[in-house]
């Protein structure tokens, strides 16, 4: 197995530090998301994807868009690095799962920060400026930017990221990590729902509702990294788990 420079996967202290980085990264991304989303909706037509994403553009200050974009880029990059904690947890038990999960991490680091976060802030900035000049031109530009430059990146990110989430769930469920099987529920796909529910209650068209709703994936990541950090098994449990592994690790050892 190509270890990409990792000499001891089940190093508890390194895993703990990576999970802390994940919590910090999730908080930074959440702040960035909130800044980009915190603006009352002013566009009446939100039937299309472009209108929905940019309905509050006029109420977003330049500082919000710039700092929201930068904080999100930094936070998402840290989240991607922190996912190597989960990679380390499963790598000695299942090389197949670890390879798939590692590819998902690389896809996340490659696409999420700039391709799928910064570009939303950039599009809102450009749309806001164009809207002040000509609403028809702004609408046409928004349509082209979303469909020509963004949708393909979002689809590619989901195609790379979602398999990693599935692998993570299965690795915890099958006992491929020192955690109990219940740790499988520390997932982005579960942790994101409180933000969506709160946003719906507050009002998705309000500034606060828009800000909270935009944070839904950050909520999910904070739930995942925070939950794994709080429930991190102690050193003895790590050693017992490592001692139970055969000399040559692989999926067949757990069949």
Tens-binned pLDDT, residue by residue, of the chain (255 aa): 555 545 568 999 999 999 999 999 999 999 999 999 998 877 545 555 666 677 788 888 999 999 999 999 999 999 999 999 999 999 999 999 999 999 999 999 999 998 888 888 888 888 888 888 888 888 888 888 888 888 888 899 999 999 999 999 999 999 999 999 999 999 999 999 999 999 999 998 899 998 999 999 999 999 999 999 999 999 999 999 999 988 654 444 444
CA dist., res. 4 & res. 178, Å (int) = 22
Residue 7 maps to a domain: no
Domains contained in the chain, number: 1
Single pTM value for the model: 0.89
- Helix residue spans in 38-118 (DSSP H): 49-54, 62-91, 95-111
| Segments forming the whole domain that contains residue 166 | 12-234
Q: Is residue 183 part of a domain?
A: yes
Q: In angstroms, rounded to a whole number, what is the distance separating the alpha carbons of residues 95 and 152?
A: 30
Residue 99 lies inside a defined structural domain of this protein: yes
Asked if the structure places residue 239 within a domain, the reply is: no
Q: Which two tokens stand for residue 182?
A: 């219940």
């Amino acid at each position: 197995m190509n270890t990409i420079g990792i000499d001891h996967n089940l190093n508890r202290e390194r895993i703990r530090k990576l999970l802390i980085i994940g919590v910090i990264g999730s908080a930074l991304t959440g702040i960035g998301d909130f800044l980009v989303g915190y603006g009352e909706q002013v566009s009446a037509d939100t039937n299309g994807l472009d209108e929905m994403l940019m309905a509050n553009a006029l109420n977003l200050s330049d500082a919000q868009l710039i700092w929201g974009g930068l904080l999100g880029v930094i936070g998402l990059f840290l989240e991607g690095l922190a996912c190597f904690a989960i990679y380390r947890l499963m790598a000695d038990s299942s090389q197949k799962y670890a390879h798939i999960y590692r590819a998902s991490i690389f896809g996340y680091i490659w696409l999420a920060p700039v391709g799928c976060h910064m570009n939303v802030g950039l599009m809102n900035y450009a749309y806001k400026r164009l809207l002040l000049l000509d609403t028809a031109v702004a609408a046409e530009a928004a349509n082209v930017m979303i469909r020509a430059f963004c949708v393909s990146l979002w689809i590619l990110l989901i195609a790379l990221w979602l398999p990693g989430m599935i692998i993570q769930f299965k690795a915890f469920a099958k006992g491929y990590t020192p955690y109990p099987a219940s740790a499988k529920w520390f997932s982005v796909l579960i942790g994101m729902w409180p933000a969506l529910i709160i946003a719906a209650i507050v009002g998705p068209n309000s500034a606060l509702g828009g800000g909270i709703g935009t944070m839904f994936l950050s909520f999910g990541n904070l739930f995942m990294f925070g939950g794994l950090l709080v429930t991190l098994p102690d050193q003895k449990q790590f050693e017992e788990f490592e001692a139970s592994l055969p000399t040559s690790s692989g999926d067949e050892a757990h069949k």
